Amino acid sequence: MLMMMMITFLIIMISNLLMFISMLISKKSFLDREKCSPFECGFDPKNSARIPFSLHFFLITVIFLIFDVEIALIFPYILTFKFINFIMWSFMVSFFLIILLLGLYHEWNQNMLNWTN
């Protein structure tokens, strides 16, 4: 048990050290105007390099990713069907699907699924 705690402590210390080193290395200087501007053949840019994007499109993609991951989490339920009893399996699958449907209902109520507002 002591060995496991020491290994856990060592892993935490190494990961914290690596995060600290990467934070030190990745510091960027915002003082130089040339480094902050986008490169356009050496000339000053004519318009902003930060083009606006649709926040609604971004939220739709996040919802898609969440449900895509949820489908990947459903696949192991098929494999566990043989190894556990049917009542426990059906309870787990029903609970998981109810949580998914509640999330979908919440997003529908918030009008997140309507493309045009």
Taking the chain (117 residues) in runs of 10, the rounded mean pLDDT of each run is 91 94 75 61 62 75 82 83 86 89 86 70
Q: Compute the Cα dihedral for 82, 86, 92, 95 and give only its sign.
A: positive
Distance CA 32, CA 59 (A): 34
Distance CA 100, CA 93 (A): 11
Instruction: Give the pLDDT of residue 23.
Output: 84
- Is 104:96 a contact under the CB 8 Å cutoff? no
Give the global pTM: 0.46
Instruction: Give the pLDDT of residue 9.
Output: 94
Instruction: Give the pLDDT of residue 14.
Output: 95
Distance CA 1, CA 38 (A): 55
